[in-house]
Structure 1
């Protein structure tokens, strides 16, 4: 059987299974699976709020956390992580103790405790874990957090350092944390375990280094706050009220903040700190919304940080149409009507730095109504494009979406995920790991490339436009020496390189252009012997390509899609890759569940249950559409 026949057979099977999995409302509900963090935090929340009727859920989460522990006692955030992850191990250990169903003396808990001690103790955990530990009374609030005054809420948006210089998803976590740290609040119940004995003493030299790093920041806040005219007591109260209002104004219809589980977790503690009773409707609704993120469509239940419904539905709807399902098909119509209903009508935090355009974007999850992002928006626009040519209401939605995307181009020529021109590196004064990728929202190759792909393939913007020229210049400037590009929201250099190549090709860049030829050469140089591609999450931490030494379906599909876009004929390397992809789609092992989505560098990686369908469907369709003529 030749390649096209094999592809046709596989496409037929993928299309059939996907159409049968569609929900009645037109969406696809695949799971968004991260590390154990959200499971651990849910147990901690249930115990802190002293909720007594969720024991089945606690038991289920305990079993899931236990099943993810490594033989050495550690937990990992990706399977091939060396030895283990300190923060994940602390979260797993503490939550199991807090559950009440696990004894501290259990051998696997002793192993976890030993791993924590040997790797620096609680003091060496990442900042999000430290915040959880401070909130639950396990450690004192770190001085680097306490140094940030709640009065930062009152500094104007144009201030060199203000809360609005952070990207929105960072603000959504930091503002609740600042409320609690400034109140010096922690929340201990009779059931709260005490693991403070795992807090290793920080060396004098380390303490001096931290204090030195804090001096400039401390001086800045002192000078900035002196310019505010009212008394310190009045300013502090105003700042607390503003912080509380900020949180409440960003609560979604399901009770969650910003539609994120993690932000909602910290929100609950902030509301408690501000005097809200544990039975207050805001807290009860938040818990209900967070519980709704439970995913049961898997071997074990787990808590999603934010369900990926809109993302999955948009990508699948576009990919199915590329695979030959007509836009008039009942399933495609249902999906596009669902997407139409999820276009945002509200102004969100994106409008702070981009106030002169009406809402028109799409968000990630079904409940998300005011946190749109570029990725979801271009994916949804690709899906509805055929209908926008014939249906007025889709045309209006499409036009407003395109206008919003174009308005979000950064001054440097690239696109970022959520907000415009949010790359204030003055905030690197804060000594947090990966602050450039966690606190800010700079232009990235994956966002820039995919935006160019949409604009080049689906709009009539001239190839010589300034929009495209600025983006091409940004990609040229940010290409790695080896020809690859770093991708922020996927794993990692394969992801960024795929997006950049397909984006550049969509706006007319030649295969012979050095940007393309160098990138293609790099992709071919890392092809595995089996014909596929695979990259470790360690690439994200080390900021250089690290091979997985195995092939995964999504990464193989990304590499193939890039090579197909840059080759007029199917080369032997492409053919080998297609065979590898077809083989991977028949396999049912860890290669299909390896996390290829990125959240927090070094801390949170995502296995999208949809990715083994979306990206192979797209790559195989592109092969067929380009070469089977």
Structure 2
């Protein structure tokens, strides 16, 4: 086997990679991944978040006085097993204490019956107090504490439900915030209007986590933002706290009716409002506040949706997933097995593609249509069902998979998906995940938004995927949508040559995404933009041949600290990016492939504890259990194909 354009045998480049070793790795990983495919063609893997989600599930049971001892015990076991060495709970594996996550985890364990003098509880309590106490928690944690009577409601920013009565042109209309914020906030506004007290049957409190009694805390603002805009919004918040009790009751009733209508229209069966845990939990509390009996059909549906997120694990633990990811998992797995190229792999990819076609949203003008009313539906959601909220990232990846697996057979869904993607392009040339032009950045300065994740602006990774999809379908660099997308990528490249990764950790993910999009549309490897990105990737390779990056890289002042142990998924991203940039013959690429071949588990796949994805940078991180089963196979299979065929260019948009 000769390296393209070098005349060099692959064995001379890296004797540790033999053809037999490479073939065995690809074929065993492909068999293992195909064995995980469900009989109807789809894949689904666990999706793990931090201890916040299981803690909130336990506390919701205590809010309602509907405690399931078996579920509570399993969730508590999961929380205990994820406590960090510093006594707190991190947002991602190996991270340091996050105050809000730790307060929720401690509260949930105490509610579940853990004695306060137990060693793990003592360490957690000392860690919270050392970090300023529970009064320094973020807004959503303080709302939970107010619901349990642990802090006064003045410790929570005012968000009157009456904002739902504002016209669409209002600067604070819900259409201006992201889909996830919308579905979480709307039912929460009803709960905050009622200010209920949790039933809390065991009378659990956490006064011991405050450095001073909660009723003596003066400053509850947790956000460090001290800009003029932030000060203005804090002033508005103070004004609203004075007038909210005096607002007309008729306006409140109308707003609550609007909220209930919004939620009920989007209840989404047993897949839940927005198909995400926080929105489901708030929906359950909203119906409870409104006096819905436990057997009311909507209340029953909401509870069942949340229960579907529970996943029993080894050792009696129960994971509560933030959502389910079958469309995303299936689309990515289709790409990986299609890359393998054997008849069995092609048939597997075709079965997955057929399953995906059935999930396309064709007749529901979701919330995205508020900004793009003249665009026909045609996108795919992330979950089994979420018709109001398909997303551009899933849609682009699905369309590319369908195109690879049977373009003629899937011509109509491909065309509808392409049409929807082009219709959702933002005015700056980029693509957000769920909406176009969701860029009201001033809203991230309101006190309620101290998490800084209220919006869904265009990002590099999603934009690169959309460009790659259009290019794979035959659109050239001078096509209007492609050209404006390319300009967005050029503007967003970092000075060091990398790109920021919004939905994956972090610069490795963003750079891989961008390089694939650029390659697909014909940007040559010698282009300065590509060369800078390649140089950056090469500079980040670890001595063992792999790549790794941690969640701390999302803090601008911590980027220098983000060198981490190599992970299979991030190594695969780096390799796919290098190969897209024409670096298949680079010795660094061979070293990365060798790292993957040498670090497989007994099943032929890869293990990975690290959280290599994000929900919201610096706030909410994710561990896709499918990533180490999918991306490494994808990378080594592509490497094999390109070496065998002497390719220097990747024929796909991903």
Q: Which residue of 1 is the match for residue 336 of structure 2?
A: 319
How does 1:2-401 map onto structure 2 within 5 Å? 2-52=17-67, 54-82=68-96, 84-99=97-112, 101-142=113-154, 145-146=157-158, 148-201=159-212, 216-217=232-233, 232-254=248-270, 256-296=272-312, 300-326=317-343, 329-345=346-362, 346-386=364-404, 388-391=406-409, 394-401=410-417
Report the equivalent of 2:648.
Answer: none
Contact map agreement 1:534 1:549 (CA 8 A) in 2:
yes
Rounded to whole Å, the distance in 1 between the matches of 2:509 and 2:374 is 32
Post-superposition shift, 1:222? 11
Residue from 439, 444, 451 that aligns with 1:428: 444
C-alpha separation in 2, matches of 1:207 and 1:32: 32
Distance 1:103 1:218, change over 3 A: closer
1:461 paired with 2:466, answer: no
CA distance in 1, matches of 2:238, 2:123: 45
> CA contact under 8 A between 2:77 and 2:318: conserved in structure 1?
no
- Once structures 1 and 2 are overlaid, which stretch shifts more, 583-592 or 274-283? 583-592
Whole-angstrom CA distance in 2 between matches of 1:309 and 1:207: 39
Matched residue, 2:11:
none
Query: What do residues 269-313 of structure 1 show as CA deviations (whole Å, max 9, x unaligned)?
Result: 122222323443322322222111122366643011111111101
Hey, what's the Cα distance between the residues in 1 that align with 2:229 and 2:583? 54
CA 1:357–1:4: 2 relative to 1, 3 Å? farther
Deviation at 1:435, TM superposition (A): 5.3
SS where residue 285 of structure 1 aligns? Answer: helix
Question: Could you tell me how far apart the structure 2 residues matched to 1:328 and 1:538 are?
Answer: 37
What does residue 7 of structure 2 align with? none
Give deviations 1:527-559, integer Å, cap 9, x for gaps: 111111000111123373643431000100001
SS of aligned partner of 1:258: helix
* Partner SS for 2:403: helix
User: Which residue does 1:477 correspond to in 2?
Assistant: 491
Partner of 2:542: 528
Tell me how far apart the structure 1 counterparts of residues 344 and 39 of structure 2 sit (CA, whole Å): 18
**In 2, distance between residues paired with 1:435 and 1:76?**
16
2:641 aligned partner:
625
Flag the 1:218–1:492 CA change in 2: closer, same or farther, 3 A: closer
My pick for the range that moved more, 181-190 or 488-497, is: 181-190
> Is the alpha carbon distance of 1:325 and 1:137 closer, same or farther for their aligned partners in structure 2, counting shifts above 3 Å?
farther
Is 1:497 the equivalent of 2:511? yes
Are residues 587 and 601 of structure 1, via their aligned partners in 2, closer, same or farther at CA, if it must alter by over 3 Å? Answer: farther
* Partner-residue secondary structure (3-state), 1:277: coil
Aligned residue for 2:375, secondary structure, equals coil
Q: Deviations over 1:121-157 (max 9, x none)?
A: 22211222222222222222355522x3211111122
Q: Find the aligned partners of 1:255 and 1:311 in 2 and give their Cα distance.
A: 16
2:29 aligned counterpart, secondary structure: helix
Query: Are residues 206 and 30 of structure 1, via their aligned partners in 2, closer, same or farther at CA, if it must alter by over 3 Å?
Result: closer
Q: Aligned in 2, Cα 1:169/1:340: closer, same or farther, shift over 3 Å?
A: same
SS of 2:431 mapped into structure 1: coil
Deviations 1:367-404 (A, max 9, x none): 3333111111112112222455332xx22111111111
1:71–1:568: structure 2 CA closer, same or farther, 3 Å change rule? closer
Residue number in structure 2 paired with 1:227: none
Residues 315 and 614 of structure 1 are in contact (CA less than 8 Å); yes or no, is this contact kept in structure 2? yes
Q: 1:590 to 1:431 in 2, by over 3 A?
A: farther
Alignment of 1:601-616 (within 5 A): 601-616=617-632
Change (3 A) 1:323 1:586: same
Q: How far did residue 217 of structure 1 move?
A: 3.5
For the structure 1 residues 43 and 183, does the alpha-carbon distance in structure 2 shift closer, same or farther, using more than 3 Å as the test? same
Residues 325 and 157 of structure 1: CA distance in aligned 2, closer, same or farther (over 3 Å): farther
Following the alignment from structure 2 to structure 1, what is the Cα–Cα distance between the partners of residues 421 and 385? Answer: 21
Using a 3 Å threshold, how does the CA distance of structure 1 residues 220 and 358 change in structure 2: closer, same or farther? farther
Counterparts of 1:223 and 1:125, CA distance in 2: 23
Establish whether residue 541 from structure 1 lines up as the match of residue 555 from structure 2. Answer: yes
- Residue matched to 1:413: 429
1:485-530, CA deviations, whole angstroms, 9 ceiling, x for partnerless residues? 1111110111111111111111111112121111111111111111
Q: Distance in 2 between matches of 1:154 and 1:547?
A: 45
Q: What CA distance in whole angstroms lies between the structure 2 residues aligned with 1:98 and 1:288?
A: 23
Q: CA RMSD in A?
A: 2.8
- Equivalent residue, structure 1, for 2:12: none
Gaps (5+ residues) in structure 1?
Answer: 225-230
Counterparts in 2 of 1:214 and 1:493: CA distance versus 1, 3 Å: closer
- Separation in 1 of the partners of 2:136 and 2:405? 53
Structure 1 residue 478, shift from structure 2 partner? 1.1
Contact kept, 8 Å, 2:335 with 2:401, in 1: the verdict is: yes
Secondary structure of the residue aligned to 1:585 is: coil
For residues 189-221 of structure 1, the C-alpha deviation after alignment (integer angstroms, 9 at most, x for no partner) is 322411134234587677699998776337779
Please say which of residues 546-555 and 488-497 is displaced more in the overlay: 546-555
SS in 2 for 1:380: helix
- Asked whether the equivalents of residues 160 and 426 of structure 1 are also in contact (C-alpha less than 8 Å), the reply is no
The answer as to whether partners of 1:176 and 1:267 remain within 8 angstroms in 2 is yes
CA contact 1:416–1:448 (8 Å) conserved in 2: yes
How high is the TM-score relative to the length of structure 1? 0.91
The Cα shift of 1:326 comes to 4.7
* SS of corresponding position for 2:273: coil
What is the aligned partner in structure 2 of residue 578 from structure 1?
A: 593
